[in-house]
Amino acid sequence: MKIQIINGPNLNLLGKREPGVYGNQSFEDFFATLRQRYPAFELHYYQSNVEGELVNKLHERGFDFDGIIINAGAYTHTSVALHDAIGAIRTPVVEVHISNVYAREEFRHKSLITSKCAGMLTGFGMEGYALALEYFKHKSPAL
């Protein structure tokens, strides 16, 4: 089962960025542990700070991968292009946020992409990505 994880803007700074909100671990380190925990998945990771590159990656993976997990960062709250891209592809998408966006500023309470996603996880820290993998595992009981 092929799963693409996509992280959006500023998430390349995980581990250094606002550790009180996002924790101390880099995504690369967390991703290495995910690979160990979920050997049955073929896990791919992509990060970009550029909105159009996130759209391109959704198009690239959106027809032959089995699942996409996206943390679109701040574009979550602004991007009609990501909303449309997720709506355009066939692969199911799970939205993840490390922090609890509803416990933060009001501008973070609105997501433009949730309506096109299978579901959304927010506030579980990095573990949210693992919970999204559990969802895909549940969908495919052979794993």
User: Is 59 among the catalytic positions?
Assistant: no
Q: How far are the Cα atoms of 20, 81, 142 from residue 7, in angstroms, in the given order?
A: 19, 16, 27
Q: Contacting ligand DQA (CB under 6 A), which of 99, 112, 113, 117? A: 99
Q: By the 8 A CB rule, do 121 and 132 touch?
A: yes
The set of residues, in sequence order, having a beta carbon less than 8 Å from that of 116 and lying 6+ positions away, is 83, 86, 87, 93
Q: Contacting ligand DQA (CB under 6 A), which of 43, 55, 82, 98? A: 98
- Taking the CB of residue 107, how many other CB atoms lie within 10 A of it? 10
Binding track over 2-41 against ligand DQA, x by CB under 6 A:
--------x-------------------------------
Site stretch for ligand DQA (CB under 6 A), options 46-54, 62-70, 72-80, 82-90: 72-80
Binding footprint of ligand DQA on the chain (CB under 6 A): 10, 71, 73-74, 76, 97-99, 101, 108
